A and B are shown apart, each in its own frame.
Chain A
Amino acid sequence: MNTIIFRTIAPFLAALAGLFSVFVLLRGHNEPGGGFIGGLIAASALAIYGIAWGVAPVRRAIVVHPITLAGFGVFLASVSGFLSFFAGSAFLRGLWISVPFFGTELDLSSVLLFDIGVYFTVVGTISTIGLTLEEPEVD
């Protein structure tokens, strides 16, 4: 798997897939998409990078251990449930807010925060599994 073509293209492909995963995540707002498949796409981007360049560069690229990302995702999702506490509404209630953003309206919501949590959880878990499988066995 270390042909020169693949090795050259893999970083670009991974970067593109990472960007696409964010697009899919945000698209989940009103259309098919969302955190789960966005996370899967991001995890496959990491996997491509890992296949081309080995596991160590991937681990360096994402700085923290992937399982930490997963924990962060679950934490973010739980926090998003608590936001409605301050609105006097029920747990996990979706709250929406529109902010002007360089001339356009930007819709933000606690649902999006939850979805970002899902995204990180999926990236974290799947890439933990993926990287462990890609690593050569030590024993």
Chain B
Amino acid sequence: MAGPSYSVDLAQAMVVDTYTPLEWLAVAPVALPMAAGALCLMFRSRGDLAARITVLTLGLLVLLNVGLVHTVVQQGTLIMAMGNWLPPFGIVFAIDILGAVLALTTSVVGLIGAIYASGDIDIGRRRFGFYTFYLLLITGVSGAFLTGDIFNLYVWFEVLLIASFGLIILGGERAQLDGAVKYGVLNLLATTLFLVAVGYLYGLVGTLNMADIALAVPQLPAAAPIGVVTALFIVAFSMKAAAFPLNFWLPASYHTPRIVVAAIFAGLLTKVGAYSLMRIVVMLLPETRDLLADVILWVAVLTMLVGAFGALAQGEVRRLLGFVVISGIGNIFVGVAVGSSEALAGSIFYAVHSIIVMFGLYLAAGAVERIAGTSSLHTASGLYRLEPALATLFLVLAFAVSGLPPFSGFWPKVMLVQATIGAGLGWVAAAILVTGFLTTIAMGRVWLLVFWRDAVNGAPLRSQATPDASRASWMVPIALVVVIVAGIGLMPDGLMQASLASAQSLLDPQAYVNSVLGEGGN
């Protein structure tokens, strides 16, 4: 078995390492929501209590994650060995800037979603464990972003998959069951393919620790079928991320569940696939990534265009947004395909932006549905007169998702376009710009039809019946998202530097490896 050579120092394994409270921040994004989810399960008959627990936990988590990002920026990669079983044998959480930023984004989105849910999820769904599943989903997503062990990554994938199954069928309407069958089967298939790839990789390198794999892969004999393994990883993660041609499950299912569930799915789940692609294919298998770069590039461009054209052809807001999610995934894949640090930084920035904006757009679509009673572009109309504030917020989100300044979507697109032109791929830059243009048309049309157009005949107007309390429950979350989107757009420096640093550490994982395995790691 071709593995790295290390001498096991038994004395070191027996030592009780001291961990500072700062290092404990590494497990908070996983342990806190899990414990809170268990509490919500115990008190699920008291829906209000579960809602309060969820909001409080996620609020605390946002604060802790801010601390986590700060610590990682200050001290470099943070390591937490579970049960003090040291790497490469034990499971470690290894948090670099990429993981920390994404975990922070996850908790922010989770908190806003929990606030929105308090006005959107009825008692029946609370009883069936909405908040437990919701917290479990946050647990799984955070775990996937933080873990430093490839099999552990598979386990987190399954955790978030189980939670998402619970969320997608909550309510049990016909369309939900239909969508859940397709969502469930294809996502289970994707994780199974991921497991196949993990099995092969383990057979080749004899280790599951990511840092250890990064050391072992270059030492493999030339005949080792690492290309097959990489291809399998790419297929599995592309399916998870809904990249063309494996994207058809997403528009078939994302419009069926409750809007807050669809929002959290659209924000987080596809990005977990994209993140894993970066972490595993770019960081651990760089040579075979170069080999398959052209394939990924074509996938990326086709995904962008299919998403944009698909969005243009939809007559219903939620389904249209499903295609916009897909076109965003295409943008993220461009950076993975180009592989330079600027391009990857653009991808990472785009991923963070896309999590927040897609989440916000779904919430806004939910608000439209509440007021107009429909999300069809044929009947929803005249909302500007009723809700000018919502119309403004929606317009900002539409600008952001299309990549127009001064909002968060502009900067990652600039970075990606610059990087592609710098790599001599002008046609890819053109595709990114065309996609942005088409998205502008699609989103602009939504805004014109739903908000600006006079109320068409038969447009149901139930706004008078909407009580004020529930108005705050959707207006505040959407406004929060818009504040974040505008904040990133106006002050992109911090996030830009963080994504550049993340990209560099993905391309040159030596520092990461050293902090996991110690300085004598190689």
Contact = CB atoms under 8 A, between A and B. Distances in A.
A touches B (Cβ under 8 A): yes
Interface of A: 67-68, 70-75, 78-79, 81-82, 85, 87-94
Contacts of A91: 24, 26-27, 31, 80, 82-83
Nearest to A71: B41
Contacts of B41: 67-68, 70-71, 74
A73 B396 CA distance: 45
A92 B42 contact: no
Nearest first, the 4 A-B pairs at minimum CB distance are A71-B41, A74-B38, A75-B38, A78-B35
A67 B45 CA distance: 11
A90 B17 contact: yes
Contacts of B80: 90-91
A93 B91 CA distance: 12
A118 B426 CA distance: 57
B38 A93 contact: no
Of listed A72, A74, A85, residue having the most chain B CB within 10 A = A74
Contacts of A71: 38-42, 44, 132
Nearest to A64: B42
A43 B20 CA distance: 41
A89 B81 CA distance: 10
Interface of B: 16-21, 24, 26-27, 31, 34-35, 37-42, 44, 80-84, 132
Interface class of chain A by DSSP:
helix
Contact of A93 (B31, B39, B84): B84
A85 B26 CA distance: 12
Contact of A94 (B19, B21, B39, B83): B83
Q: Which of A74, A88, A90 has the most CB of B within 10 A?
A: A90
Contacts of B27: 81, 91
A72 B31 contact: no
Contacts of B26: 91
A93 B17 CA distance: 10
Contacts of A90: 17, 19, 80-84
A74 B35 CA distance: 7
B42 A88 contact: no
8 contacts: A71-B38, A71-B39, A71-B42, A75-B35, A90-B17, A91-B26, A92-B83, A94-B83
B144 to A, nearest CB: 17
Nearest to B93: A91
A73 B37 CA distance: 12
A88 B15 CA distance: 13
Contacts of A70: 41
Nearest to B45: A65
A85 B18 CA distance: 10
A79 B35 contact: yes
Contacts of B44: 67-68, 71
A84 B34 CA distance: 17
A68 B26 CA distance: 28
B172 to A, nearest CB: 13
Contacts of A92: 82-83
A87 B42 CA distance: 28
Contact of B37 (A74, A85, A87, A88): A74
Nearest to A85: B24
A89 B19 contact: yes
